[in-house]
Amino acid sequence: MKTKTFKYFKLPQEAWFEEQEMEIALPADWEIFFADIPADSLPVLSDEEIEKRLSQPIGTKTLSELAGNRQRAVIIFDDLSRPTNAAQIAPRVIRELLKAGIREENISFVAALGAHGAGNRLDFEKKLGREIVETYPVFNHNPYENCAYVGTTTLGTPVYINKEVLASDLKIGIGSILPHSFNGFGGGGKIIFPGVASIETIYQNHKKAIDDLYERNVGFVGNMGDPENSKIQAEIEEVVRMVNFDFKIDVLPNSRRQAVELVAGDPVLAHKKGVAAARKLYVTDFYRDADVVVSNAYAKGSEALIALSLGAHSLKKDGGDLVTIVNSPAGQVVHYLFDPFGEDFGGMLWSREGLFPQNIKRNILLSRYPGQRLGPQKNQLHCREWEEVLRLLLPEHGPGTRAVIYKDATMQFLRKS
């Protein structure tokens, strides 16, 4: 295959597992656009740089100062559907809490699952490191039970929050800031709302977000990277204050889950600074009217529908071939609101047809781990190796074919034209 007639590209694969690269090849006589990620041009933060950012928080006291008069701390962390390397951050947080006098037995961890499926010990160890899992209690958030009412937002959402979180008088979050279809960017207070909220609260929040997109005539892809989604973001910030969320740490990773920036401090103010950086780190040029799009899913490989949707956005309006690369050994994350749970039924926000892009002629799924389900299985062709993909593409597309490759379409957003 390696001849002068092909161009080669490397794409990151298997977040949280093998952490390897896949090399793909496309004909050199095609018009190929490679959508890289600006975050990859930055150096990885050193330990000293991480310490500096944690010791100089934005808009609030240091962790040790905040912990000085507190009795019980909870550390909320995101799940494996997010690329945050919490194991790099959590031990530093614990060190500050212990130094301030909080007893080891008064520190717990809660996985901010929102409406995602529960994690197991192996998941927690990947996320937090073995020592933390062996030393501290790590709890799954259960959106169906053990949540307490804390108030109602201005938009009318009743807010019920995890009781373990509410029982702690020092609330700390560890997450990351990446483009998000509902909020423009994730991170910040989302780790609380909807991260540790009840299923009814999450439903109300998600339903309002979807309705807002329809009202503004902005699709899921078009809203990614747009921090002006003020109505929904404002509700998150309202809940942050409602539950007295104290301190948030957000990593901005490159395409290998390595931190190239980090913000810490007040959950609202630090998030605003992080979003300003993220707008530059994850933007990509919008290449339109492609015959073929290769859309790689890595950072959020277990939410690969994000990559499929963004990739389809670059296809010609009258259709083209979309290749979504999904090497996620664990498959797709369970979402109790959006997923099907049988042939004819699903979660409260499940839609049989969903918002599946109509301009996909052939929906090619490349995975070494078959069984990935990305919404409706329309026109789906399964391949295990890149050579199989080429055998599908080459007979249909000749010289001059316009092709786009997204390095990781789960952490990129399109530059507004």
What is the rounded CA–CA span in Å between residue 34 and residue 9? 8
Inter-axis angle of helices 47-55 and 90-99, to 10 degrees? 50
DSSP 107: E
Pairing of strands 184-185, 179-180: antiparallel
What residue spans in the chain does CATH classification 3.90.226.30 cover? 6-37+283-414
Q: Is 49 exposed, middle or buried (0-12, 13-18, 19+ CB in 10 A)?
A: middle
pLDDT, position 377: 64
pLDDT at position 74: 98
pLDDT by 10s per residue, the chain, length 417: 445 699 999 999 999 999 999 999 999 999 999 999 999 999 999 999 999 999 999 999 999 999 999 999 999 999 999 999 999 999 999 999 999 999 999 999 999 999 999 999 999 999 999 999 999 999 999 999 999 999 999 999 999 999 999 999 999 999 999 999 999 999 999 999 999 999 999 999 999 999 988 888 888 898 899 877 667 899 999 999 999 999 999 999 999 999 999 999 999 999 999 999 999 999 999 999 999 999 999 999 999 999 999 999 999 999 999 999 999 999 999 999 999 999 889 999 998 766 678 899 999 999 999 988 887 666 789 999 999 999 999 999 999 999 999 999 999 999 986
* Cα R_g (the chain), whole angstroms: 21
CA quadruple 411, 57, 242, 101: dihedral, nearest 10: 120
Residues recorded for the chain: 417
Cis upstream peptide for 137 (omega within 30°): no
Superfamily of domain 47-281: LarA, N-terminal domain (3.40.50.11440)
Which contacts qualify for 122-131: CB closer than 8 Å, 24 or more apart?
123/79, 123/80, 126/16, 126/80, 127/77, 127/78, 127/79, 127/80, 127/84, 127/86, 127/87, 128/77, 128/86, 128/87, 128/90, 129/87, 129/90, 129/91, 131/91
Using CB atoms within 10 Å of the CB of residue 269, give its burial: 0 to 12 exposed, 13 to 18 middle, 19+ buried: middle
Q: Going by C-beta distance under 8 Å and a sequence separation of 6 or more, which residues neighbour residue 2?
A: 8, 25
Strands 147-152 and 158-162: antiparallel
SS3 74: strand
Alpha carbon distance 239, 401 (integer Å): 49
Return the CATH fold of 6-37+283-414. Answer: 2-enoyl-CoA Hydratase; Chain A, domain 1 (3.90.226)
Domain limits, CATH 3.40.50.11440, in the chain: 47-281
- CA atoms of 24 and 95, how far apart (whole Å): 44
Non-local (6+) Cβ contacts of 207 within 8 A are 349
For residues 339 and 183, what is the distance between their CA atoms, to the nearest angstrom?
20
pLDDT value at position 1? Answer: 45
For residues 380 and 365, the answer to whether their CB atoms sit within 8 Å is yes
What pLDDT, on the 0 to 100 scale, is given for residue 378?
65
What number of other Cβ atoms are within 10 A of residue 214's Cβ?
A: 9
Q: CA end-to-end span of the chain, whole Å?
A: 37
Distance CA 296, CA 307 (A): 6
